[in-house]
Amino acid sequence: MMNHEEIGRGDFVLLDEISTDSFIHNLRIRFNGGKFYTYIGEVCVSVNPYRTLNIYGPDYVSQYKGREIFERPPHIFAIGDAAYKTMKRNGKDTCIVISGESGSGKTEASKIIMRYLAAVTNLSGQQEIERVKNILLQSNAILETFGNAKTNRNDNSSRFGKYMDIHFDFKGDPIGGHINNYLLEKSRVIVQQAGERNFHSFYQLLFGAPDNEAAKLQLKRDPTFYHFLRQGGVAKVDSISDRTDYKNVSSAFRALNFDPASIETIWKIVAAVLHLGNAEFKSDGDKTRLAQSTTLSTVASLLCVDPNELNRALCHRVIAANGELMEKGHTTSEATYGRDAFAKALYDRLFTWIVERVNSAIEVQRADRSYNVPGTVIGVLDIYGFEIFDINSFEQFCINYCNEKLQQLFIELVLKQEQEEYRREGIAWQNIDYFNNQIICDLVEQQHKGILAIMDEACLNVGKVTDQMLLEALDQKLSQHKHYTSRKLSPLDKELRHGSDFRIRHYAGDVVYDVSGFLDKNKDTLFQDFKRLLYSSKDPNIRHMWPEGAQDIHKTTKRPQTAGTLFKNSMIALVKNLTSKEPFYVRCIKPNDQKSPVLFDEERVRHQVSYLGLIENVRVRRAGFAYRQSYDRFLRRYKMVSQYTWPNFRGGADRDGVRILIQQQNFEEDVVYGKTKIFVRSPQTLFMLEQARARLIPGIVIFLQKLWRGSVCRRRYKKILAAKKIVGAYRRYKMRAYLRLLISPLRNAKQLRDYGLSVRWPSSPLIIAKQVAKFHAAFHRWRAWMVIRAIPSQDWPQLRLKIAAADVLQGQRSGYGLNRRWEGNYVRDELNAPTALVTLKTKDRIQQILFACRIRKYNKRFKSSERALLITEASVYKLDGKNFKPMKNKTPLVEITALSVSTEDDHLLVIHLRSNNDLVVSLQPDDRTGGSRVGEAVGILLQQCQKLNDKPLTVKTGTRIQCMLGRKPRTIQIDSNNASISAINFVKQSKTDILYQSPPTSVSTKGVATNGQNGYH
């Protein structure tokens, strides 16, 4: 452990003395100091704290995520992260085996690991992955409800075995899973020991279901009313809230997409089992019948079967022999046995069906996967622990056999195989002795000689075979086995009862089993009548649970495999599955039997440490190596950390490359070279190798990305060139075809009056639309040339001005002097004008006077005055009306923001300026025609501002013109159609409104003929 203050030793390998006493002393110190996790190398020893701990939140997840196991204090998160990293780095399946006796905290440990894996995955926040994670977590609530129960050792004891495979994609995100369940303790449905409860589901339904639901199922809230619930004498548990758990499991059903009909079926079967337990039988002469008809109708209603058929199945049995049918009535004891078997089978089949539905909800959706890359798996094994009760029956025998197999797996992988591998690789090694429990596994499962084989043989015998006869057969065939005994074989052993008990010396201790019921439970007999009855149910879910009920009643069915054989086969398959994965271990220890958070029972713990083989594990780990890997895989993973092995080692065998790499990194003292593998002693060395690799990986990835992107771009460029060539050939083909269509209608355009303007062009294909647009532009330029070529070239500047004015005023104003000649300078013949203008041109270096005209100017003081307006290539001047000298400063054309004119044929022009003091003028009409010069001024200003600002000037038209005078808004109202007005004038109407009066064109013309000045001096 590195840089962390620890209570005791965080890793048992670091103990000064390896002994049971020092091991337990260290465990007790850490337990009393609130440290419940301790390592043996990469094995986590977990002590049940019997209290809630605040060490599983997001802050703790971030501390252990991506860290090596020795970097942080011992925690179960580190085991989950190690399994996840190994799977993700090496692309190898891993599994986490959680073992220990009942009540040691295995179920909680598995849930903590599941929550950790959910927290460190799906960093991109994909919705589908988040859904899968939620389903995997929610499935625990459902399975615990229907598979867990309160025992004398554990308030939430798993009464079934569960192994969950979590499937991950190539990014390390969960994409599904699969659950295998093993041997539900269904005998608990009908009988419980004192101080224990039935499965949680029954109490959740009674205490948590809404009143209308309970009434619909005809249930009473009192558990003591039901025969199957009152035998243990315990209905309430302080640590369990059945009402809350009912809400949680209902939410989990919805999360896993259980439809309402399926949920209703589940609770109806649970209720039917409760009512079925209250069914009692009595003799009526030579017949047996139900004592209460109401129970019969209630159960039939819940199971959706015919009441008469249910009564017949409970009280009679149909036997098929040689194609003939015979109905045999039950005795009361036979009917009671049939009822109990029916109740157990109902619940067991319901549990199996629920597991199937959960699997269908979490299965990997391979059709939706984007890449055909094989995924990896992390398996989590949470299975019942070793059990020793006051009365141990067939279920405890199977459970303890399961724990023997798991202990054998631990011995094979951690103790035996590791030592054998050292010897095989030629590593110097001192052998460490340990107890190998293979002899006990053989006692149970050996072909023809094991206890399961003897039980199966007894079940196959014809005639009445009793449990006592089974015990005699066991005594006879196993009398010489040192791990088996009975009262007959050990007469002086008063603990064993004659004719009923036998003892097996398990790795975890001696267990006395009561042989009573072994044969019946092994046969697991359920009369075919019940199967046919349930297959006839009107509930499709119940029909689906009992497909064998569809068999012909005349058909003689083959004897099914016994429960013991099925369990043995499933255990062998489980061990084979675990062996194919890289295992990580959590060894759970129960500190006391009182479920106290402060009591540490040393003798109790010593017993568990002994039978779990933890001391031997410490010795092997201390003398062994933290990591081993074949030379080729080691070199392939770490070759980038050495310049001599990157990118490929060419200097000999893989072993030589590994040796060079290790020497360059100065790790020679911490490794040993085997025949085919390298062995690394400390995890710190491996951690430093991983760090060196992690520093180089980004550069390698960038280099590979560069090569890949270059390759992709080159391929794409070649495709673009090919496509461009194809498109070019296609475009030329279309162009030739289009020109052939176009030449014919335009052939005689020069002789047409409108030069082909009225000719309809053929529609162009999209691919040559831009070229056709250029044809149109060229055609219009040619046609324009044909039109204007008769106009003298000296008139073209004036024509451009008129076109510019027409672009903005055509259709917006009734007249703007388009039909007269625009002279530009209308003051050249005025007195004093020539001299003044020459002086001004010299002073301001004016190249050309573009426009000059007398005006009436209106100012911010609501006064009008006679002035002259001068427009040059860069500025606008206001000139005195008499001597034509400049008034104040000139106005640069770049200061002009817009122009405003009226919609009538008047003489008003508003030049809007950036200074918010606009120039409001009325231009002098033409002396000969009285026509407006506004269009000419607008055209000149538009042309010059376009040259200077490189953008068009805005021209506004209207009968009401908005302007700014002295930085204040003003509105000019136009009146140009009043015949009573003889001269142009500005009239103040209010503080903001101005009336511009202009005589009609005819009046203005008349004024010109009689006066010659028309109001301008």
Instruction: Give the residue numbers marked as catalytic.
Output: 102-103, 107, 154, 157-158, 385, 387
Tell me the C-alpha distance between 66 and 351, whole Å.
38
The tokens of 563 are what? Answer: 């429960």
Pairing between β-strand 376-382 and β-strand 94-99 as defined by DSSP bridges: parallel
> How many angstroms from the chain centroid is the CA of residue 748?
71
DSSP string, 780-827: HHHHHHHHHTTS-GGGHHHHHHHHHHHHHHTTTSS--STTS---SBS-
Q: Residue 748: how many CB atoms within 10 A of its CB?
A: 10
Beta pairing, strands 864-872 & 161-168: unpaired
At 94 the three-state DSSP class reads strand
Q: First vs last Cα of the chain: how many Å apart?
A: 108
Q: Are strands 376-382 and 484-486 parallel, antiparallel or unpaired?
A: unpaired
Helices (H) and strands (E) in the chain, counts: 31, 31
Give the Cα separation of 400 and 386 in Å (integer).
5
| 771's tokens | 């070229």
Which residue is it, tokens 């200061």? 895
- The position carrying tokens 């199922």 is 217
Contact indicator for 15, 22 with CB cutoff of 8 Å: yes
Is the separation of the CB atoms in 887 and 953 below 8 Å?
A: no
Assess contact for 865 and 838: CB atoms under 8 A: no
Residue 428 to residue 421: CA distance in whole angstroms: 11
The radius of gyration computed from the CA coordinates of the chain, to the nearest angstrom, equals 51
DSSP 764: P
- Taking CA atoms, 687 is separated from 68, 71, 126, 381, in Å, by 7, 9, 31, 28
| DSSP 3-state of 279 | coil
| Inter-residue contact 208 to 247 (CB < 8 Å) | yes
Antiparallel, parallel or unpaired: β 582-589 and 43-47:
parallel
Exposure of 285 in the CB half-sphere (CA atoms within 13 A): 1
Could you say which DSSP state residue 414 is in?
I
Q: Going edge to edge, which strands form the sheet with 43-47?
A: 37-40, 43-47, 582-589, 94-99, 376-382, 161-168, 174-182
Residue 307's SS3 state is helix
Query: Rounded distance, CA 598 to CA 49, Å?
Result: 8
Which residues, 6 or more positions from 696, have their beta carbon under 8 angstroms from its beta carbon?
640, 641
Q: Which two tokens stand for residue 44?
A: 């986590």
CA 977/CA 588 separation, integer angstroms: 107
The H-or-E segment that residue 76 falls in is helix 76-90
Give all strands (DSSP E) within 50-156, no chain letters. Answer: 94-99, 148-149
Q: Are 378 and 83 in contact (CB under 8 A)?
A: yes
DSSP secondary structure code for residue 903 in this structure: S
Of 297, 268, 300, which is closest to residue 201 (Cα–Cα)? 268
CA distance 123 to 719: 37
Separation of alpha carbons 207 and 69, rounded Å: 44
3-class DSSP assignment, residue 930? coil
Instruction: Give the whole-angstrom CA distance, residue 789 versus residue 333.
Output: 126
